[in-house]
Amino acid sequence: MPLSGEAIRAMNYVDDISVTLRRILATLPALTPEERDRVVAHVRQADPSYSSVLQALEAEVEKA
């Protein structure tokens, strides 16, 4: 079954997120410990989080 435009767009968003996460990981060694702590706190407070979106997607799959 071919994918809809919306599904392809959503998958492209995931690819964009992955690129961003790789950039964050590449930047971490250049940060001071204090800066890393601030980044950690900021990622933890992000809403929605990557894991919350994954949980929502998994819940939708289970309903289907």
Give, in order, the Cα–Cα distances in Å from 49 to each of 1, 45, 46, 53: 30, 8, 6, 6
Residues near 24 by beta carbon (within 8 Å), at least 6 away in sequence: 39, 43
pLDDT at 1: 85
Per-position pLDDT tens, the chain of length 64: 899 999 999 999 999 999 999 999 999 999 999 999 999 999 999 999 999 999 999 999 999 8
